[in-house]
Amino acid sequence: MSKKLIRFDWAIKRLLRNKANFVVLEGFLSELLFDNIKIEQILESESNQETEDDKFNRVDVLTQNSKNELIIIEIQSTYEIDYFHRMAYGVSKSITENIKLGQKYSEIKKIISINIVYFDLGQGQDYIYKGKTDFIGLHQKDLLGLSEKQRITFLKEKISDIFPEFYLLKVNQFNDNAKDTLDEWIYFLKNSEVKDEFKAKGLKEAGEVLDIMRLEKEDEYGYNRYLDSLHLKASEIFTLQTEAEFKAKDERSIEITRKLILNGADNNLITLSTDLTIEQIEELRTELKK
């Protein structure tokens, strides 16, 4: 048994910003990062806007884990070809915004960027990817490490512990077969459902906090408006894709027709080989005679 819940990408902008509901986000981050995550605060950002068309599908969340690192969560519902670039920008911006003038470089906090996307991004068969920075020798192929003094001074074990770390969750690529507690969270992110047998941290609380039946009237109206905006976005993308396909098909038919005309084919043969009408074929014949 399972019940339909509020979408995570809307809830994280509203309900999950309430300190009383931090347990949901803490559970998700703990499962993903294999750490006991406690949220310190929520970053104020451009995502905190009210209308459905002003970056409604993005949210930045600042958390603090046991190593005092900053964690940003971004959610993107609609396709962006340059999303990788956006990930790089978001991390760079967070680094510069979280160091004060005069602070030492060593006081820069590590950024963990968690990106939940509801579209196919890049090429790959997995649904969870992790990226980190390692330095590999061009000749010796060895992994560059920190010196003993650096490890003691910075309390870091590896160079990659200093640089930003990225997680990419391609939600729609998940096959709905939850094999572990992290998969249970991916299932929820994709389907907005929590099964009774799920044991992942935070999901039990999510099943209570995100129950649609518990929404206040004003929140229910806002949530329905948000769903409408998602449907509209999907329809717009489908329309653009369909129009592009038809345009490409028409251009192909015109090119074939030109070749058939130049090779002496009659109109009947051309209509059998393409989707063009007699009138369109005659227009092309006239153009080719000029």
Using DSSP's 3-state secondary structure scheme, residue 115 falls into: strand
Amino acid at 258: R
Residue 213 banded pLDDT, cuts 50, 70, 90: low
168 close to 129: Cβ distance less than 8 angstroms: yes
**pLDDT > 70 fraction of the chain, expressed in percent and rounded:** 92
Q: What is the pLDDT of residues 226-266, one digit of tens each?
A: 777 777 777 877 787 788 878 888 888 888 888 888 888 88
pLDDT given at position 148: 96
Q: What is the pLDDT of residues 124-153, one digit of tens each?
A: 999 999 999 999 999 999 999 999 999 999
Decide the pairing of beta strands 165-170 and 111-117: parallel
Q: Which residue has the tokens 């920008």?
A: 89
Worst-scoring range by mean pLDDT, 65-79, 121-135, 211-225? Answer: 211-225
Average pLDDT, the chain: 84
30 close to 201: Cβ distance less than 8 angstroms: yes
d(CA 275, CA 280): 10
Distances (CA, A) of 80 to 4, 57, 111: 28, 12, 22
Q: What H or E segment, with its residue span, contains residue 75?
A: strand 70-76
Q: Which residue has the tokens 């080989």?
A: 273
Most confident among 39-43, 96-100, 167-171 (mean pLDDT): 167-171
Task: Say how many residues make up the chain.
Answer: 290
Q: What H or E segment, with its residue span, contains residue 112?
A: strand 111-117
- Mean of pLDDT values over 16-33: 88
Backbone angle region of 207, left / alpha / beta, with phi > 0 → left and psi within -120 to 50 → alpha: alpha
Q: What residues have CB less than 8 Å from 266, skipping those under 6 apart?
A: none
pLDDT given at position 68: 75
pLDDT over threshold 60, residue 109:
yes
Angle, alpha carbons 43-159-96 (nearest 5°): 30
What pTM does this model have?
A: 0.75
73 close to 114: Cβ distance less than 8 angstroms: yes
pLDDT given at position 154: 92
230 close to 256: Cβ distance less than 8 angstroms: no
